[in-house]
């Protein structure tokens, strides 16, 4: 009997396979990639551009949800930090399913492009490189959910992810590699890709060398490798860009759509859903005041409280230049270059705070600057998809307070995420366990 565990790992209806017997006949209506343009077309598909799991917003201290505490949906399970996000054994699990589905398509490109009869080696290498960066980004997001945060002391033994490279659905599911092996593999892929990627591409959904640098900046920041994070943050900021001055816009509708926004380095859309109407937590609201144009432009009041409003175009959950600047400021603050760190924060704030109310911020030392940088990061990147990433890495350093889910109707605490809680790591989905009974689990 053919092994079906890999099929369940990827959770997809297979469109392509490496097995020759499936390539001999073209099923009617199915496009099997044969030329370089066919593989490049996959890079523009929904599967490979709409990759962000909206569930990552549910986990954070940015959001308040009025969902019933007895609800067993994936949204509720994530919001209350229950060990298992998706408990339905028959359905593709949230986060794991779509990200491994995208990884499969990336592997189709990586494995198939070298065999196409057309295209130069440079063109082929660039298409492969884009697929490697997208795959690496998926693995990073999976790590933040299904593995412990990177800790140099334990990363060599902490369970990471199954590193799937095959496109043969009859292959056995790989065992979970370690967190270190997972991180090392994605870093190697992105560095290799950066060497051959172009400086510009056809749109912001497609990958450039600066996107690769931005992703390396993010990976190294997650690891706490601040020296390497600084190197790649600076490289990413060499790309052509601009930071919008919100004072120049009468309302949010006049802002450029994300696809044309000069603040966006890499556009990533959500698999499904959006943050529109998600409610700001009481904690997040304390970071804003009436002078902050971000607050007035992108919030709306509804029956449940202060919610997120829409912005022109599809939300981006990729990499933006404000993130890169705030990462640079954080690294400077950690290096005790607090005046330089605050100069970056003030550059950004001047474009976000009403001119009549604006005043520069100052810091007494590196620690004070770091506090202010992280506060600005919280404001600027709210609902952008990075808060869970930040919560995981800051908890490693003891910089995350206890987070509570409070029922506003009766003021009862319904769930608590304590510092260093094991609930910062979600369990391998039940459906994956069902078909891979030997897979190592997080909660033993």
- Domain locations in the chain as residue ranges: 208-400
- Confidence at residue 181, expressed as pLDDT on a 0 to 100 scale: 98
Q: Report residue 116 as tokens.
A: 């196409």
Antiparallel, parallel or unpaired: β 50-52 and 269-270: parallel
- Confidence at residue 6, expressed as pLDDT on a 0 to 100 scale: 41
C-alpha distances (whole Å) from 116 to each of 120, 374, 383 are 10, 47, 41
pTM above 0.85, yes or no: yes
Block residue for tokens 């799991």? 53
Give the CA diameter of the chain.
72
- Confidence at residue 309, expressed as pLDDT on a 0 to 100 scale: 82
Task: Could you please state the CATH topology (level 3) that the domain comprising 208-400 is classified under.
Answer: 1.25.40
In 3D, which of 192, 220, 180 has the Cα closest to residue 331?
220
- Confidence at residue 23, expressed as pLDDT on a 0 to 100 scale: 27
Distance CA 67, CA 84 (A): 17
- Confidence at residue 31, expressed as pLDDT on a 0 to 100 scale: 58
Q: Report residue 221 as tokens.
A: 């920041």
Count of CA atoms in the C-beta half-sphere (13 A) of 378: 21
What residues in the chain have per-residue pLDDT under 50? Answer: 1-30
pLDDT digits (tens, 9 = 90+) for 313-337: 668 999 999 999 999 999 999 999 9
Block residue for tokens 């053919």? 2
What DSSP character marks residue 312? S
Query: How many angstroms separate the first and last alpha carbons of the chain?
Result: 31
- Confidence at residue 207, expressed as pLDDT on a 0 to 100 scale: 98
């Amino acid at each position: 009997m053919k092994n079906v565990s890999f099929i369940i790992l990827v959770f997809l209806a297979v469109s392509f396979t490496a097995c020759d017997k499936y390539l001999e006949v073209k099923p009617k209506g199915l496009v099997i990639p044969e030329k370089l343009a066919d593989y490049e077309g996959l890079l523009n598909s929904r599967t490979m551009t709409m990759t962000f799991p909206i569930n990552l917003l549910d986990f954070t201290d940015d959001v308040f949800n009025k969902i019933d505490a007895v609800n067993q949906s994936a949204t509720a399970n994530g919001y209350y930090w229950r060990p298992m996000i998706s408990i339905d054994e028959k359905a593709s699990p949230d986060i794991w399913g779509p990200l491994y589905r995208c990884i499969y398509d990336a592997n189709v490109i990586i494995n198939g492009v070298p065999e196409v009869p057309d295209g130069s080696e440079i063109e082929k290498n660039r298409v492969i490189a884009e697929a490697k960066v997208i795959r690496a980004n998926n693995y990073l997001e999976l790590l933040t959910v299904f593995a412990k945060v990177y800790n140099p002391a334990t990363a060599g033994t902490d369970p990471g992810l199954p590193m799937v490279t095959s496109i043969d659905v009859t292959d056995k599911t790989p065992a979970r590699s370690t967190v270190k092996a997972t991180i090392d593999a994605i870093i190697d892929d992105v560095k290799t890709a950066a060497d051959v990627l172009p400086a510009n591409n056809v749109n912001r959904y497609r990958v450039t060398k600066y996107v690769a640098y931005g992703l390396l900046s993010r990976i190294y920041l997650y690891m706490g490798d601040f020296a390497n994070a600084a190197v790649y943050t600076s490289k990413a900021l060499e790309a052509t860009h601009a930071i919008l001055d919100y004072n120049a816009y009468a309302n949010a509708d006049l802002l450029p759509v994300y696809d044309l926004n000069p603040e966006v380095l890499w556009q990533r859309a959500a698999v499904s859903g959006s943050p529109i109407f998600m409610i700001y937590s009481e904690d997040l609201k304390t970071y804003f005041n009436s002078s902050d144009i971000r607050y007035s432009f992108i919030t709306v009041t509804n029956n449940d409280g202060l919610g997120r409003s829409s912005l022109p175009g599809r939300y981006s959950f990729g990499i933006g230049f404000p993130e890169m600047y705030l990462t640079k400021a954080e690294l400077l603050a950690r290096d005790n270059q607090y005046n330089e760190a605050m100069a970056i924060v003030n550059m950004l704030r001047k474009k976000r705070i009403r001119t009549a109310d604006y005043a520069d911020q100052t810091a007494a030392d590196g620690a004070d600057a770091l506090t202010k940088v992280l506060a600005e990061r919280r404001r600027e990147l709210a609902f952008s998809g990075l808060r869970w990433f930040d919560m995981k890495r800051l908890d490693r350093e003891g910089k995350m307070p206890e987070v509570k889910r409070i029922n506003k109707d009766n003021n009862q605490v319904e769930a608590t995420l304590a510092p260093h809680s094991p609930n910062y790591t979600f369990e391998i989905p039940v459906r994956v366990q069902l078909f891979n009974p030997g897979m190592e689990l997080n909660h033993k």
